[in-house]
């Protein structure tokens, strides 16, 4: 399917690896020029080079933490009039809520609620004036299914979800949509646990880990960043202009609900 976005410009936050990388790859495949971002400059450069070589689109790298105001300014300077914004950021680590102090709580809320709101504020009016905009927020299935130990992540992302529910309805008439994707068990570094990014696994160990982690998923497997990215790209397409304010689980059926 032609997504109708060839030649558009996108900002994809936290896109050097994992789900953000999957989204950047899928958008580049659709012909979208990119600004990519990540904390690890070396890993980001590697991802950007791979995208350029594979898809031939323009890719600008902005290294740094997207929650840092100076990094946000650099991202927006590199692409002041994006057609697409994919909000993504790492969540707080697993931690009993009793261990959270005010500073940790504020950091979590800043990273997973305030930062995407700030970026949306910066780009949404320009999108509306131009008559096209697609904003996709990568949140978490924990918005619907709370996970003890990830309370801060769940709370911050749920706050973002509620905040944007009304905003999304104010710009749909100018062909600007805001939706969220809620990843469940996808095969990313965060799910694999602490290790050096990009470190290969032994095939047998990887197969065992994936089978064990996917056993309670109706799909009986983990999802991949690549298929997650393709769903994101569709939400950014011209075909998704009548879909807004939605929170879509990408979880292989793990979240059980009829509605």
For residue 174, being part of any structural domain is answered with yes
Flag whether pLDDT at 198 surpasses 70.
Answer: no
Q: Which residues contact 110 (CB under 8 A, 6 or more apart)?
A: 67
Mean pLDDT of 15-34: 98
Q: How many structural domains comprise the chain?
A: 1
Whether pLDDT at 214 is above 70: yes
Classify residue 125: in a domain, yes or no: yes
pLDDT of residue 202: 81
- In a domain, residue 157? The reply is yes
| Statement: residue 197 has pLDDT above 80 | no
* pLDDT of 231 over the 80 cut: yes
The pLDDT value recorded for residue 14 is: 97
Q: Among candidates 255, 201, 194, which has minimal Cα distance to 223? A: 255
Please indicate, yes or no, if residue 100 is contained in any of the structural domains: yes
Statement: residue 196 has pLDDT above 70: no
Average pLDDT over residues 224-233: 98
Give the mean pLDDT of the chain: 95
At residue 146, the pLDDT reads 87
Provide mean pLDDT across the span 92-104.
94
Please report the pLDDT score of residue 199 as a whole number.
Answer: 67
For the segment 227-236, the average pLDDT, to the nearest whole number, is 98
Res 102 pLDDT > 80: yes
Other Cβ atoms within 10 Å of 113 Cβ, number = 22
Which residue range(s) make up the domain with 24?
9-250
pLDDT score, position 105: 97
Stretch 182-207: mean pLDDT, rounded? 76
In a domain, 256, yes or no: no
Sign of CA dihedral 217, 221, 227, 228: positive
- Cβ atoms of 62 and 71 closer than 8 Å: yes
pLDDT band at 244 (very low <50, low <70, confident <90, very high): very high
Query: Which range, of 2-6, 153-157, 201-205, 253-257, averages the lowest pLDDT?
Result: 201-205
How confident is the model at residue 207, as a pLDDT? 87
**pTM tops 0.75, yes or no:** yes
Query: Among candidates 153, 165, 167, which has minimal Cα distance to 109?
Result: 153
Percentage of the chain beyond pLDDT 90 is 86
Domain of 52, CATH number, reads 3.40.50.720
3 in a structural domain: no
Local confidence band at 201 (pLDDT 50, 70, 90 cut-offs): confident
Q: Measuring CA to CA, which residue among 4, 54, 66, 2 is closest to residue 28?
A: 54
Task: Give a yes or no: residue 258 inside a domain.
Answer: no
Share of the chain above pLDDT 70, in %: 97
Question: What are the tokens at 92?
Answer: 């707080």
Higher per-residue confidence, 201 vs 163: 163
Q: What mean pLDDT comes out for the span 17-45? A: 98
């Amino acid at each position: 399917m032609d997504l109708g976005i060839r030649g558009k410009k996108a900002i994809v936050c936290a896109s050097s690896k994992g789900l953000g990388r999957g989204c950047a790859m899928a958008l580049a495949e659709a012909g979208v020029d990119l600004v990519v971002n990540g904390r690890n400059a070396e890993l980001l450069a590697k991802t950007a080079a791979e995208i350029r070589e594979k898809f031939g689109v323009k890719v600008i790298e902005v290294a740094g933490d997207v929650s840092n105001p100076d990094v946000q300014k650099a991202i927006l300077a590199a692409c002041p009039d994006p057609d697409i914004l994919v909000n993504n950021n790492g969540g707080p680590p697993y931690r009993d809520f009793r261990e959270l102090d005010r500073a940790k709580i504020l950091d979590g809320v800043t990273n997973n609620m305030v930062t995407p709101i700030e970026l949306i504020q910066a780009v949404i009016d320009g999108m509306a004036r131009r008559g096209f905009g697609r904003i996709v927020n990568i949140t978490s299935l924990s918005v619907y299914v709370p996970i003890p130990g990830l309370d801060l992540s769940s709370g911050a992302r749920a706050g973002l979800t509620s905040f944007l529910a009304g905003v999304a309805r104010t710009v749909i008439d100018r062909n600007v949509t805001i939706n969220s994707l809620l990843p469940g068990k996808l095969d990313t570094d965060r799910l694999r646990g602490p290790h050096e990014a990009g470190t290969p696994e032994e095939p047998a160990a990887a197969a065992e880990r994936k089978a064990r982690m996917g056993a309670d998923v109706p799909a009986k497997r983990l999802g991949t960043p690549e298929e997650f990215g393709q769903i994101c790209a569709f939400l950014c397409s011209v075909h998704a202009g009548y879909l807004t304010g939605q929170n879509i689980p990408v979880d292989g059926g793990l979240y059980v609900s009829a509605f």
